[in-house]
Amino acid sequence: MWRYYSVSTANWADKIELPAMDFTGGRALNTGRDGSTTFDVSDREVDELVTDESIEELKRVLVATWNENAVYAGLITDTDEDQDTGTVTVKHYDIWWILQRRYLLASRDNNAATADPITWTGQPLAALANYVVNRGQLGDPADRYNLPIAFSYEPGGATADRTYYGYEFTSVADALDDIIKSNGGPFVEFDSRWTSGTTSLEWSMRSGALTDGYWEWDTIAPQTEVFGLKLSTSAQKVVNKAYGTGEGTEAARPVRTASSFSTAPALERVENYGSKTTAELQSRTTAGLNASNESTKQISFSIPVDGAVSVADLKLGGTAHVKTKGLRRLADGWHDWRLIDFTFNRESITLQFQQIGG
Mean pLDDT over 170-187 rounds to 95
CA distance 131 to 168: 18
Calpha distance 204→11 (Å, rounded): 17
| Interval 227-276: pLDDT, tens | 999 999 999 989 999 999 998 888 888 999 999 998 889 999 999 887 66
The pLDDT of residue 358:
54
Which of 16, 78, 74, 77 has its CA nearest to residue 48? 16
Cis peptide before 19 (omega within 30 of 0): no
Structure confidence by residue, pLDDT tens digits, 41-70: 999 999 999 999 999 999 999 999 999 999
Confidence of residue 203 (pLDDT cuts 50, 70, 90): very high
* pLDDT for 357 beyond 80: no
Torsion sign across C-alpha atoms 72, 77, 78, 79: positive
What is the pLDDT at residue 248?
A: 83
Residue 82 pLDDT: 98
| Tens-place pLDDT, residues 94-108 | 999 999 999 999 999
Can you give the pLDDT at residue 83? 97
Among 127, 142, 133, 129, residue whose Cα is nearest residue 104: 133
Quick check: 213 and 339 in contact, CB under 8 A? yes
pTM of model > 0.95? no
Model confidence at 40: pLDDT above 70: yes
Q: What is the mean pLDDT of the chain?
A: 95
**Backbone phi, psi, residue 177, to 5°:** -60, -40
Instruction: Pick the range with the lowest mean pLDDT from 42-46, 193-197, 325-329.
Output: 193-197
Alpha carbons 86 and 90: distance in angstroms, whole number: 14
pLDDT-derived band of residue 340, with 50, 70 and 90 as boundaries? very high
Residue among 313, 332, 314, 312 nearest 322 (CA): 332
pLDDT over 60 at 323, yes or no:
yes
DSSP state of 103: B
Mean pLDDT on 286-290: 91
Residue 316 binned pLDDT confidence (cut-offs 50, 70, 90): very high
Residue 37: the pLDDT is 98
pLDDT the model gives residue 250: 83
| Of 2 and 295, more confident | 2
Question: Which residues contact residue 287 at a Cβ distance below 8 angstroms, ignoring those fewer than 6 apart?
Answer: 181, 182, 183, 184, 185
Find the mean pLDDT for residues 150-165.
94
Tell me how far apart the alpha carbons of residues 284 and 125 are, in angstroms, rounded to a whole number: 12
The pLDDT > 90 percentage for the chain reads 87
